[in-house]
Amino acid sequence: MTTTTATDASAVLEHRLTAADRCDSCGAQAYIAAEVNGSELLFCAHHGRKYEEKLRAVATSWHDETARLSAAD
């Protein structure tokens, strides 16, 4: 039997984007996901920051994993 703790659940939510998720603008690895009009848009750190102000005004959710870029493993 497998149990999920609160710590496990938060880790999954923090790092839900994988290397298979690609930026809708350039195809690089996505670190930001924004939900707009029921559709999920994925962006690399560069394009996420470039469009952040406009996206946040219309997005219903904003998921940012760019901290992973500077995190030590």
> Residue 11: inside a domain, yes or no?
no
> Residue 9: inside a domain, yes or no?
no
> Residue 62: inside a domain, yes or no?
yes
> Residue 4: inside a domain, yes or no?
no
| Residues 23-63: tens digit of each pLDDT | 999 999 999 999 999 999 999 999 999 999 999 999 999 99
Counted domains in the chain:
1
> Residue 43: inside a domain, yes or no?
yes
Which helix (H) or strand (E) element contains residue 40? strand 39-43
CA distances from 60 to 1, 33, 34, 35, 39 (A): 36, 11, 8, 6, 10
pTM: 0.76
The pLDDT assigned to 14 comes to 64
> Residue 60: inside a domain, yes or no?
yes
Q: Is 22 exposed, middle or buried (0-12, 13-18, 19+ CB in 10 A)?
A: middle
Residue 24: give the domain boundaries. 19-69
Identity at 4, one-letter amino acid code = T
> Residue 50: inside a domain, yes or no?
yes
Identity at 20, one-letter amino acid code = A
